[in-house]
């Protein structure tokens, strides 16, 4: 069943300069790479790309740049029919990431340069008409502003009787961003962050996250992708599911695999009306297929049926 309403992805868009090497380079050496390319990146921006590739309707909300370097990113958003009509603009140069893909180990190493690029504010978001959206997805950053954005979505849902689902991608700084979890329907939490907090399994991570939600009201579902071990998911009623990953023989490009997981989950839940565990299973499929090719376009080979 296809939904008419769209997804809004809130976060940043950056330029990814990707260098493909046979192995990770040794410090202070001078060598050739195998190949390279650059593409639009950033968490919410990648989630938007993969949602479009899978066939969802999507708008992006983040700070766009008027600089020359950004023009190609704008063109890519336009070509893919990812809406940007609500985005504020700045004259500042966009953030970028230098990414090294090491083909022998299958790793991606990201060095991100943000340059204090301005973030969208609550004031920017308050101008957005929420009625076209069935789902709003956030990156965990800019906490006080994002919290107000989430609360305004909750208020809108209550006022109109049309519930807009909210998801959060929590990859860094748990303590700072913890309060963003409570207003969400779905929180996707990274394995790397769980390790930093000393949480050793996806189950322990989901259960700790749920225990840290104050009050006795409804809790979000927590989803924890765990690399090659698959993913764990704890639903709002406390039922835990674990879904195995799909193994791939050839790992080509792991950049944005987490963002692809997120998009697969949103697409399966919203477009496919899948249950939590089925949606996580599809998200595992999308993430594991993503790493078999460069970029995101090959994900179009997957479908929900």
| Residue 96 C-beta: closest distance to ligand FRU, Å | 8
Give me the helix-helix angle, 276-290 and 43-54, nearest 10°: 100
* DSSP H/E element including 270: helix 257-270
Subset of 88-127 contacting ligand FRU (CB under 6 A): 97, 110, 112
**Whole-angstrom distance, CA of residue 129 vs CA of residue 154:** 14
**Whole-angstrom distance, CA of residue 82 vs CA of residue 94:** 18
Q: Which is nearer to ligand FRU, 15 or 164 (CB)?
A: 15
Give me the helix-helix angle, 257-270 and 43-54, nearest 10°: 50
CB 24 within 8 A of CB 105: yes
Q: Which of 7, 9, 10, 14 binds ligand FRU (CB under 6 A)?
A: 14
Q: Which is nearer to ligand FRU, 220 or 258 (CB)?
A: 258
Q: Which is nearer to ligand FRU, 46 or 288 (CB)?
A: 46
Alpha helices in the chain (DSSP H): 43-54, 71-79, 122-125, 143-160, 174-177, 191-196, 202-211, 257-270, 276-290
Q: Which of 6, 21, 42, 52 binds ligand FRU (CB under 6 A)?
A: 42
Q: Which is nearer to ligand FRU, 225 or 256 (CB)?
A: 256
CB 264 within 8 A of CB 301: no
Give the up-direction half-sphere exposure of residue 88: CA atoms within 13 A in the CB hemisphere. Answer: 17
How many residues line the site for ligand FRU (CB under 6 A)? 13
Q: Which of 235, 259, 271, 281 binds ligand FRU (CB under 6 A)?
A: 259
* Residues ≥6 apart with Cβ < 8 Å to 151: 183
| Residue 275 C-beta: closest distance to ligand FRU, Å | 26
| Residue 97 C-beta: closest distance to ligand FRU, Å | 3
Q: Which is nearer to ligand FRU, 110 or 236 (CB)?
A: 110
Subset of 219-258 contacting ligand FRU (CB under 6 A): 255-256, 258
Binding site for ligand FRU (CB under 6 A): 14, 16, 41-43, 46, 97, 110, 112, 255-256, 258-259
């Amino acid at each position: 069943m296809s939904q008419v309403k769209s997804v809004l992805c809130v976060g940043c868009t950056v330029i990814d300069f990707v260098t493909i090497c046979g192995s990770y380079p040794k410090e202070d050496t001078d060598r050739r790479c195998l190949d390279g390319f650059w593409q639009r990146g950033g968490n919410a921006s990648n989630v938007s790309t993969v949602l479009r590739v899978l066939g969802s309707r999507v708008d992006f909300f983040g700070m766009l740049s008027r600089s020359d370097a950004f023009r190609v990113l704008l063109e890519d958003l336009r070509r893919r029919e990812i809406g940007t009509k609500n985005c504020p603009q700045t004259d500042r140069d966009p953030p970028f990431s230098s990414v090294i893909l090491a083909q022998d180990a299958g790793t991606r190493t990201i060095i991100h340069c943000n340059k204090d690029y301005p973030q969208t504010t609550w004031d920017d978001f308050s101008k957005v008409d929420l009625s076209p959206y069935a789902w709003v997805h956030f990156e965990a950053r800019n906490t006080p502003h994002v919290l107000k954005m989430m609360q305004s979505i909750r208020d809108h849902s209550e006022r109109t009787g049309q519930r807009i689902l909210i998801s959060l991608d929590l990859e860094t700084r748990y303590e700072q961003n913890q309060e963003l979890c409570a207003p969400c329907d779905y929180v996707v939490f990274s394995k790397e962050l769980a390790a930093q907090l000393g949480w050793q399994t996806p189950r322990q991570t989901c259960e700790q996250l749920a225990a840290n939600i104050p009050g006795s009201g409804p809790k979000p579902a927590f989803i924890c992708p765990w690399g090659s071990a698959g993913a764990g998911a704890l639903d709002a009623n406390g039922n835990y599911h674990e879904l195995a990953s799909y193994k791939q023989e050839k790992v080509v490009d792991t950049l944005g695999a987490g963002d692809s997981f997120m998009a697969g989950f949103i697409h399966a839940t919203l477009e496919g009306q899948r249950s939590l565990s089925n949606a996580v299973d599809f998200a595992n499929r999308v993430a594991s297929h993503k790493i078999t090719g460069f970029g995101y376009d090959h994900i179009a080979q997957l479908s929900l049926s």
